[in-house]
Copies of this chain bind each other. A is one copy, B any other.
């Protein structure tokens, strides 16, 4: 038979935003394209111990559980917010999900009708754009600069389009790795409060911050919009968190925090989508977080130190002659370097050449809903090791040299 797919399928982007899936299967390929943490930095032994303890404790952790997810894990999140940022979030206002991608998908399903306008940072995370396309949203980018979203642009677009939702990542943008200034955070929040515009704040990269200042202290100087809004008694922000970049992706654990009504409807959508996330995985994570052998702060500090080394290496490599004319902005956090190609070379064309050499990256156009970004590329520096980084960057630079003539 011939299949007659729903009309929304035609809005779906090509099968994968990750062009190197097939490529990866060939061991000789190097990927600077994906959003992967470094597996050699996973707390593997401690996680193994935590899993052992969960299986020893009896079968209940393997049964179906509550749609909201482990109460104890939600209490851990509550405690950490309270301790680190003096932010009070009732565990009942937290929903555990299978990661930030699922949280975004659930939110868009319950909040956005086909054709509704959704505003988003410029450039934007490809996974979020994918969700918005599938749901038939009318996506409009809000201009950003190094300080964050530009409030006057946001105000103009709110007036013009009456948007339903605004997606932001003040700590730290994917693909840019930018952190917004406090002034921009306050100005954007104020506008959304004034116009009753719901903000979805994706903080999945928020703990990956480079430089000498500890994350906790950085977060106090640059609070999330969620925190700023809560301190004003507001309910305008849905906070989106994840353990995929800080602990391990395969636990598939993220969370949403916000207004109780929003969390209740999100929970109903979550139940419809897959009943609940794994109680087993939540129990393993909780054991890890509560283990005397694991210290959250030290783990994050270790990750950031290592990622900072990889970032610095990538920045050094970009100074080599073949890259001349390439402009980059040093990221403050996250996993990516956002590079503007010399002479406005086309990122998709460069990718084709690079793939032929055995290396991949993300062409910048995938970070826009409207075809912009063709002369940008996104380079991941967290997953490749030193040798891979050296070789991968070298192969891309060769492809650039070829394109130039």
For the complex, give the distance between the alpha carbons of A58 and B47 in Å.
Answer: 11
| B252 in contact with A277 (CB, 8 Å) | yes
Whether A265 sits at the interface, judged by CB under 8 Å, is: yes
Q: B9, B56, B102: which contacts A48 (Cβ < 8 A)?
A: B56
| Contact B42–A62 (Cβ < 8 Å) | yes
| B7, B164, B250: the one within 8 Å of A63 (CB) | B250
Contact flags A266-302 to B (C-beta < 8 A → 1, else 0)? 0111011111011111000000000000000000000
Chain B residues positioned under 8 Å from A221 (CB to CB): none
Assembled-state Cα–Cα distance A256/B45 (Å): 34
What does the 1/0 interface line of A242-265 toward B look like (CB < 8 Å)?
001000111110000001011011
Does the CB pair B47–A55 fall under 8 Å? Answer: yes
Task: State in angstroms the CA–CA spacing of A13 and B272 once bound together.
Answer: 10
- Would you give the shortest CB distance from A53 to chain B, in whole angstroms? 10
Interface pair A261/B12, CB less than 8 Å apart: no
Decide: A261 near B3, CB < 8 A? Known: A134-B272, A281-B278. yes
| Bound complex: CA A48 to CA B58 (Å) | 10
- Shortest A243–chain B CB gap in Å is 11
The answer to whether B271 touches A16, judged by C-beta atoms less than 8 angstroms apart, is: yes
Q: Which residues between 107 and 140 of chain A lie within 8 Å of chain B, taking CB atoms?
A: 109-113, 116, 127, 130-131, 134
Cβ contacts under 8 Å, A281 to chain B: 250, 278, 280-281
Determine if A6 and B250 form an interchain contact, defined as CB atoms under 8 angstroms apart: no
Q: How far is the CA of A36 from the CA of B62 in the complex (A)?
A: 11
Contact for A105 among B15, B110, B130, B272, CB less than 8 A? B272
Interchain CB contact (< 8 A) of A275 among B47, B52, B99, B251: B99
Interface status of A191 (Cβ within 8 A of chain B): no
Least CB distance, A161 to chain B, in whole angstroms: 14
Q: Is A26 an interface residue (CB 8 A)?
A: no
- Which of these binds chain B: A64-72, A149-157, A350-358? A64-72
Q: Determine whether the beta carbon of A40 is less than 8 Å from that of B59.
A: yes
Each complex incorporates copies of this chain amounting to 2
Q: How far is the CB of A178 from chain B (nearest CB, A)?
A: 24
Q: Which residues of B contact A131 (CB under 8 A)?
A: 272
Q: Which residues of chain B are within 8 angstroms of A37 by Cβ–Cβ distance? A: 63
Tell me, yes or no, whether A404 is within 8 Å of chain B by CB. no
**In the complex, which residues of chain B have a beta carbon less than 8 angstroms from the beta carbon of A236?**
1
List residues of chain B with CB within 8 A of the CB of A97.
Answer: 274
A59 to B55 CA separation, bound complex (whole angstroms): 19
* B42 A48 Cβ-Cβ under 8 A: no
Q: Is A79 an interface residue (CB 8 A)?
A: no
A97–B9 alpha-carbon span in the complex (Å): 19
B-facing residues in A215-236 (Cβ within 8 Å): 234-236
| Chain B contacts for A16, CB-based, 8 A | 67, 268, 271
Q: Is A86 an interface residue (CB 8 A)?
A: no
Verify if A98 is at the interface (C-beta below 8 Å from B).
Answer: yes
B102 lies within 8 A of A274 (CB): yes
Q: How far is the CA of A235 from the CA of B2 in the complex (A)?
A: 9
A102 CB to closest chain B CB (Å) equals 4
Residue in A35, A131, A244, A274 with the greatest tally of chain B CB atoms within 10 Å: A274
| Chain B positions within 8 Å of A273 at CB level | 101-102, 105, 273
The 21 sampled A-B contact pairs (Cβ below 8 Å) are A1-B193, A3-B111, A3-B259, A3-B265, A5-B111, A7-B113, A9-B110, A13-B268, A16-B271, A35-B64, A36-B63, A39-B60, A48-B52, A48-B55, A52-B52, A101-B274, A127-B275, A134-B269, A250-B280, A278-B278, A281-B281
Name A residues whose Cβ lies closer than 8 Å to a Cβ of B: 1-9, 12-13, 15-17, 21, 34-37, 39-40, 42, 44-45, 47-48, 51-52, 55-56, 58-67, 97-99, 101-102, 105, 109-113, 116, 127, 130-131, 134, 164, 193, 196, 198, 234-236, 244, 248-252, 259, 261-262, 264-265, 267-269, 271-275, 277-281
